[in-house]
Amino acid sequence: MTDRNTSDLLIQVAMRAEALPIIHLLSLKPIGRMDPNLPSELWQGIVHGHCISLVTNGCDPEFDCDRIGTESAAIVAFLALRITRPKLIFNAGTCGGFASQGATIGDIYMPTRFLFHDQRVALPKFDAFAKGEKTTADFPKIRSATNAKHGTCSTGSSLDTTVDEMAFFAAESVTCKDMEAAAIIRVARDFQTPFIALKAVTDLVDHRQTVQEAFLTNLKFATGRLADAVDHAARVFSAV
Ligand code: ADE
């Protein structure tokens, strides 16, 4: 890979529908695939004086939908970090929030604690590895520019929530639930690259409306809010 791909900031987004409002707002240009064997797509542009790369997980050729979830998140993070060598990686996406924790649809979360809620291995050391708990430094300028809420993000590869997971969320004071962040931060650590998650709430996990109905109803609104947050964060990026 050539140096022309190196970037100041890498933004990783799972779904095309989550990425398009950001791509349009930042006027990023399509570059194409990072690797012929992976459907992940790369966009780039100069934004607020910074070279920005955005990658999506891409469309699965067999199932004809975005490759959401932790395995694609980790593979794409590895490749994108290796190619673009950014100073900072954002994972921008949607999440489930909790009404009991004060979340409303369209809120932006910038968690500083990450873990997995669907990985359990009751063996010494592997138990902590499976839970994958990691914390990040706070970035106060980015937090205030995006008006983002604090909290803990828990990651799993399912959109819905089981009764046991609800108990886990309560015990761990989880404030948002997604399908990528804890997988990406693990790879970002391997590259010693600072990591920030910006997550817009599409659904409330502790609400009686089904997650799929809320997600589809609120996706456009939440991703619009997400794009504004990413733009504001990119504006103050040099001040980080
Ligand atoms: N993305 C948006 N809503 C979500 C939820 N409830 N769980 C996991 N990922 C999500």
Domains of the chain: 3-239 (3.40.50.1580)
Mutation test of ligand 1: which of 178, 223, 225 has the most ligand atoms closer than 8 Å to its C-beta? 178
**DSSP annotation of 149:** B
How far apart CA 174 and CA 115 sit, in angstroms, is 9
Of the given ranges (119-123, 141-145, 198-202, 236-240), which has the lowest mean pLDDT?
Answer: 236-240
Q: In this structure, what token pair is assigned to residue 233? A: 């964060």
Neighbours of 192 (CB within 10 A): 7
Centre of ligand 1 from the C-alpha of residue 96, in Å: 4
Percent of the chain with pLDDT over 90: 95
Residue in this structure with the two tokens 């609104």, named with its chain if needed: 221
CA nearest ligand 1 atom 6, residue: 96
Q: Which of 55, 19, 59, 21 is nearest to 39 (CA)?
A: 59
Q: How confident is the model at residue 183 (pLDDT cuts 50, 70, 90)?
A: very high
Report the atom number in ligand 1 closest to the C-alpha of 214. Answer: 3
- pLDDT for res 1: 38
Ligand 1 pocket list (CB less than 6 A):
94-96, 159, 177-179, 202-203, 205, 211, 215
The answer to whether the Cα torsion of 197, 200, 202, 203 is positive or negative is positive
Average of pLDDT values for 16-25?
98
- pLDDT for res 4: 58
User: Which stretches of 74-146 are assigned E, i.e. beta strand?
Assistant: 88-97, 108-109, 113-116, 134-135
Contact indicator for 195, 87 with CB cutoff of 8 Å: no
How far apart CA 181 and CA 183 sit, in angstroms, is 5
Report the atom number in ligand 1 closest to the C-alpha of 156. Answer: 8
Q: Which of 233, 35, 36, 69 is nearest to 141 (CA)?
A: 233
Centre of ligand 1 from the C-alpha of residue 26, in Å: 25
- pLDDT for res 207: 94
- pLDDT for res 2: 40
Q: Is 18 considered catalytic here?
A: yes
CA nearest ligand 1 atom 2, residue: 95
Provide the CA 189 distance to its chain's centre, in angstroms.
15
Q: For the whole model, what pTM was predicted?
A: 0.96
